[in-house]
Chain A
Amino acid sequence: MSAPTLPRWADVVVLPLVNLAVALLISGAVMALIGQNPLEVLTLMAKGAFGSMRGFSYTLYYTTTFIFTGLAVAVAAHGGLFNIGAEGQATLGGLGAGIFALWLARDLPGFVMLPLIILASAGFGALWALVPAYLQAYRGSHIVITTIMFNFLAYTLLVYLLVNVLKAPGSMAVESAPFEPSAALPNAQEAFAWFGIEWPSSPLNLSFLLALAAAGLVYAYLWRTRAGYRLRTVGASAGAAEYAGIPPAHQILIAMAISGALAGMVGVNEIAGVNRRLLLDFVAGAGFTGIAVAMMGRNHPAGILLASLLFGALFQGGAEVGFEMPQFSREMVVTLQGFVILLSGAMAYVLAPTLARVIHALPGIAKRRPA
């Protein structure tokens, strides 16, 4: 701690905003370089994400997935583990939802089917994460390596099962038959219609509420329960955990099981909520974006909700820009998202020392400190 340290409020609020601003500045410079007006693009993005009910609804749909993966990465991080496998665990979660939907939905009503699908998604994700967890806890294989590998395995498994087992007979597309209605999670339009409220059609569905509940439960688990205390102890200091009589291996299994279950619930949103059939590529990198979300949200559920909303807006706004400005290619949107991920995820603390120095140089703040 040789440089001045960042006050907590600055670490939690100012630094992420500064990172975001820098990312937008750099992206703006790149846009200007290829002859686009950055202000116009950004305005369009903001409008696309928040300017209409429909756009906002899409934003929340993307947000849902990022909440799940962001929480997944954060829970593992509190257990001292870097889970890069949210992508694969989400894939397995979708597979679980798909298998149960195709298998049982014909015979079971929705109020049984939907909880079952949620459990299947979470369970498949958790089991998939437990394998690397076991290898780390008892066999010393590094979880970063194994979870990366398991992403590929998950994808390959999904392709194999879809092509050979689950594909709808006679179809050319690599996807299953559509689910029975009892296995389809109501979307926002349907749900609001129950109360007589009109809502534009969008992929947003009830799993958004599930994501909010998950954020609340993760907070309660980590900071309000004895089990969460033990998990955080292991993550913060394995030596102290041993001393306290908390076997680190158990907590590794628990942390990864919860993490995998959270990631797996992406399947509820994408498979049961949106597509209502099993198909390929439904995770689309959300597992990796979850790492940036968790970092930007400082591994805290409240921060993760905000960061997920930001990334949701980026994805929805970006799609809108690509639609409205044909000369502004999809790749540019990806570039913009990439800069935000880079600066608020991978390089989140690069600007911290500079910011700390600036804050300490401000006379008003120095005066407020207790002597």
Chain B
Amino acid sequence: MNDHTPIPATSREPGPPLAVRMAGIRKTFGPVRANDDVTLDVASGTVHALVGENGAGKSTLMSQLYGLYVPDAGTIEVFGKPAHLRSTHDAIAMGLGMVHQHFMLVDTLTALENVMLGAEPHALLLRAERMVRPRLQSLMESTGLRVDLDARVGDLPVGDRQRLEILKVLFRGAKVLILDEPTAVLTPQETQHLFGVLATLRSQGTTVILITHKLDEVMRLADRVTVMRAGRIVHECGVKDTSPAQLAEAMVGRKVNIGRPATTGVAPGEVVLDAKGLQVVDAMGVTRLHGIDLALRAGQIVGVAGVSGNGQSELLEVLSGLRTPRAGTLRLAGETFAPTRWLTPRTARRLRLAHVPEDRHARAMVMDFAAWESGILGYEGLLVYSGGGFLRRRRMREDTRDMMERFDVRPRQPELASGRFSGGNQQKLVLARELGQAPHVLVVGQPTRGVDIGAIEFIHGQLRKLREAGCAILLVSSELDEILALSDRVLVMNAGRITGERPVEACTEAELGLLMAHTEVHPEKAEAPA
């Protein structure tokens, strides 16, 4: 109960007043203790980082502060006043504002209309707009959060949308800003800009609570940092008094090593997948891939870096058979595919191409199914899993238990619904399934998105092991660190084109960042037919 570092009394008494005080918070979901006697003090006018593995209870804690959940026990004070937060309305009224990881914006409305939505100062929209616009403009002036107010949100690039979300929250009078993984979708340059804005806000007296798992961001921006593990606070200190290594160790509970191992392993072998001139046009008539050429060699990891939405998803879908391109050819395991008869997911599996999709929730498993049912998804046609049309349920259960053992999926309960596992454990199960078929080619998107540090280390280890076993791997990730840690060769994608390609030894983060952001900012606008 009391193994978290007690907050020294000196930091509370004479320092700045507290913006938020959560004391003795407890929240359970069924048998899971998401928060167990958590006490968190956030000083006014500071940036306070909340870090921890997935499932550590950070989001649960902040959801209680924002009125989304009601704590089972404990008290919350906001600016010294006891707060009984039953809904987000209560939280907003107390001066709290939260920007979620997934933006809560209406694409078809303009930026201005999105800000007003739900807080219109007048029943007539035109009058309301006239009242809101000057206030918003002065807010943009003072914070540096600049957005084109008359643009439709659907046309805005991701960075602008996030600025808009923050504006929306500030416009509603938030003095405490809660940001949930704000940089997950940003380029390094956009991240830099965001941090500039947050520093400005701090200097103006706004309190920022930053939920993140990127420790370098904590070091760059935060004043204090609180580390959570398994529902409890395990460490709290000033950022000056700590190091990323120390924080990582506190998060995981042991030493971790995520980085490039000294040797790159085996020499690359023959080409096993060869794609030429891939062109994809989406349902709106927008060209998403402009003639991509790509070759994967056995025993080599090719990393694709780029800001989300520049064609990486389409590339993954085309190569795994989920989408038929308009033009291009694909050679895989001696067979050649053209748009008239493209690869299907079933053929891909038969040709030993495994796919770990980007969107775990929508694709990689069926959340309502028991883990042992998701554990064979896509392979249910194999003779070991069904004979004479009937499922071999005992074999399915045994194999899932086996996968859970090998990939340390917790809890080891094949009967539990897939959706009840944490993100990291879901991902481990998906990887166990796909790697278990000993693929010759692996196409993997965002292997560690929403996955905690301990699991990242493990997943990276598995991918390297697979490469050493001679598998050709295409790795798409929005985490540059991940690309650099795993890849032998790095491609940069921008606006549906490969804008750079080099061996990993020749890459620097700064240069890749520039390649990712170069030329147009928002491709869909530039490419759309007039």
Cross-chain contact B31 with A236 (CB below 8 angstroms): no
Known: A239-B362, A240-B365, A245-B346. A225 touches B380 (CB 8 A): no
- Partner of B355 from the list A5, A226, A240, A243 (CB cut-off 8 Å) is A243
Cross-chain contact B322 with A240 (CB below 8 angstroms): no
Q: Which residues of A are found within 8 Å of B385, using beta-carbon distances?
A: 226
Q: Does any Cβ of B come within 8 Å of A2's Cβ?
A: yes
Q: Which residues of A are found within 8 Å of B378, using beta-carbon distances?
A: 243-245
Q: Does any Cβ of A come within 8 Å of B349's Cβ?
A: yes
Binding site of A, secondary structure by majority: helix, strand, loop or mixed?
helix
Shortest CB distance A328–B (Å): 44
* Alpha-carbon distance A205/B150, docked complex (angstroms): 70
Shortest CB distance A303–B (Å): 17
* Alpha-carbon distance A1/B322, docked complex (angstroms): 32
Cross-chain contact A226 with B386 (CB below 8 angstroms): yes
Closest to A371 in B: B31
Residues of A within 8 A of B (CB): 1-2, 5, 224-227, 229-230, 232-233, 236-237, 239-240, 242-245, 369-371
Cross-chain contact A369 with B31 (CB below 8 angstroms): yes
Shortest CB distance A242–B (Å): 6
Query: Interface range on chain B: under 10, 10 to 19, 20 to 34, or 35 or more?
Result: 35 or more
Q: Does any Cβ of A come within 8 Å of B18's Cβ?
A: no
Q: Which of B286-333 contact A (CB under 8 A)?
A: 320-322
- 18 further A-B contacts with Cβ under 8 Å, apart from A226-B386, A233-B377, A239-B363, are A2-B69, A224-B391, A225-B389, A225-B390, A226-B389, A227-B389, A229-B380, A232-B369, A236-B369, A237-B362, A237-B366, A240-B364, A240-B377, A244-B377, A245-B345, A245-B346, A245-B348, A369-B31
Q: Does any Cβ of A come within 8 Å of B357's Cβ?
A: yes
Q: Which residues of B are found within 8 Å of A226, using beta-carbon distances?
A: 380-381, 385-386, 389-391
20 contacts between A and B (CB under 8 A): A2-B70, A5-B29, A225-B390, A226-B381, A226-B389, A230-B380, A236-B367, A237-B363, A237-B366, A240-B366, A240-B377, A242-B322, A242-B345, A242-B363, A243-B363, A243-B364, A244-B345, A245-B321, A245-B349, A370-B31
Q: Which residues of B are found within 8 Å of A239, using beta-carbon distances?
A: 359, 362-363
Known: A226-B389, A229-B373. A240 touches B362 (CB 8 A): yes
Binding site of B, secondary structure by majority: helix, strand, loop or mixed?
loop
A-B complex: 7 closest residue pairs judged by Cβ atoms: A245-B346, A245-B345, A239-B362, A244-B378, A226-B386, A243-B363, A239-B363
* Alpha-carbon distance A230/B346, docked complex (angstroms): 13
Q: Which residues of A are found within 8 Å of B70, using beta-carbon distances?
A: 2
* Among B29, B70, B321, B391, residue most surrounded by chain A Cβ atoms (within 10 Å): B391
Q: Which residues of A are found within 8 Å of B529, using beta-carbon distances?
A: none
Residues of B within 8 A of A (CB): 29-31, 68-70, 320-322, 344-346, 348-349, 355, 357, 359, 362-369, 373, 377-378, 380-381, 385-386, 389-391, 393
Q: Which residues of A are found within 8 Å of B386, using beta-carbon distances?
A: 225-226, 229
* Alpha-carbon distance A371/B33, docked complex (angstroms): 9
Cross-chain contact B344 with A233 (CB below 8 angstroms): no
- Partner of B30 from the list A5, A229, A242 (CB cut-off 8 Å) is A5
Cross-chain contact A224 with B362 (CB below 8 angstroms): no
Shortest CB distance A30–B (Å): 35
Known: A240-B365, A245-B345. A224 touches B359 (CB 8 A): no
Known: A226-B391, A369-B30. A233 touches B345 (CB 8 A): no
* Alpha-carbon distance A370/B368, docked complex (angstroms): 22
